[in-house]
Amino acid sequence: MTDPREQLVQAFGPEPTETWVVSAPGRVNLIGEHIDYHGLPVLPIAIHRRIRVAFRARTDRRIRAVSAKEYGLREFEWTPRLAPTAAGDWENYLRAAAEAVGRKWGAGVGADAAVVSDLPPAAGLASSSALIVAFTLGLLQANRRRASFGELMEILPEGEQFVGTRGGGMDHAASLASREGCASLIEFEPLAVRAIPVPEDWRFLVAHSLQTAEKSGTARDEYNARRAAGTAALKRLGFVSYRAAIEEPDAVEKLPPGPERDSFLHVTSEALRVRAAVKAMEQDDAGSFGRLLLESHASLRDRLRVSSPALDHLVETAVESGALGARLTGAGLGGCAVVFCKQPDLAAVRRGLIAHYYAGHPNFDPHQHLIDAQPGPGALHLA
């Protein structure tokens, strides 16, 4: 990855002011899908792929940022109430960060920034959240403000809504608070992150289905529809929260067949799988962990209907190649699967996926589409 400081100087010239670099990693969710927005615990890891931003504080309110060629240079004035710019423009992520910081602490001095990344976009690795996290930390630092993890979690998921999606808090929490070598058990009510050490010989791959899940348009509507169905089911059954509902899973019998019932079944069963997966990880029980991933995929496919034929085929191919488990990861409807195996089987799993899934796809690039995803540190723990 190129040094973002060089990009900064190239774009905006050398300045005798202090420059610093902020990094925020992408994440892969191991298990606990489509439940964070219902306040239930999830188990992602941060990966070693990340967004790095070099920053220099300005004395006025201008924010200027440059990224790779295809994204180009953006600049705007950091005013107290920012509105989004054209849909799909990457400037919205910068605006989202500025608006999130501004809403809580007021607009401050702006910054010049250069962004570099080795995180593939729109691949279920939360690259957009990583960009918002990095940019938020950079703007805070430009204004000499320290924010706690809790404060960041108050503003970041809201900030993402500003760009059109309102996910749960998983992506930001994982990108901020993960620990090297550990998965993060993220709880939301109240907010807490527990580091669960990943056994030494467990390996994860992120395999792209080669179908992109754009977080705009249809995919966003589908995401919101899943969220709405789950919430409607909860209301219909008279529960105050899913935390209460998972203690009485039989209540589902009162719901007629349909999307609400299916969502309720997915959410409650997925929450129990997260619990079981944490136990399996703590006991170094790779067989059980792998089975839970497969059950999660089946529930996402059959109940929540957020898989795709390509993702199903990818998961099957991974298992046929020797993986202990695999499942779609992230919002689904395209994007990636997370594949789980033990270290001695990693090479065979990779070879199998290349021979039986990626063969015949001229666009396949192993560096972008078949990524080793070992657990790395989050932005708050990166040197």
Q: Of the two residues 29 and 117, which places its CB atom closer to ligand GLA in the complex?
A: 29
CB of 170 to ligand GLA, least distance (A): 4
Q: How far is CA 183 from the centre of its chain?
A: 13
CB of 62 to ligand GLA, least distance (A): 30
Contact 271, 296 (CB under 8 A): no
CB-count burial class (<10 Å; 0-12, 13-18, 19+) for 283: exposed
List active site positions: 171
Q: What sign has the CA pseudo-torsion 302, 304, 310, 312?
A: negative
Nearest C-alpha neighbor of 333 from the set 358, 353, 311: 311
Measured CA to CA, the distance from residue 220 to residue 136 in angstroms comes to 23
What ranges in 108-163 are assigned the alpha helix state H? Answer: 127-142, 149-161
Q: Of the two residues 98 and 331, which places its CB atom closer to ligand GLA in the complex?
A: 331
Q: Of the two residues 24 and 170, which places its CB atom closer to ligand GLA in the complex?
A: 170
Contact 13, 245 (CB under 8 A): no
Contact positions vs ligand GLA (CB under 6 A): 29, 33-34, 36-37, 167-168, 170-171, 330-331
CB of 375 to ligand GLA, least distance (A): 18
Q: Of the two residues 4 and 25, which places its CB atom closer to ligand GLA in the complex?
A: 25
CB of 41 to ligand GLA, least distance (A): 12
Instruction: Count Cα atoms within 13 angstroms, Cβ side, for 36.
Output: 26
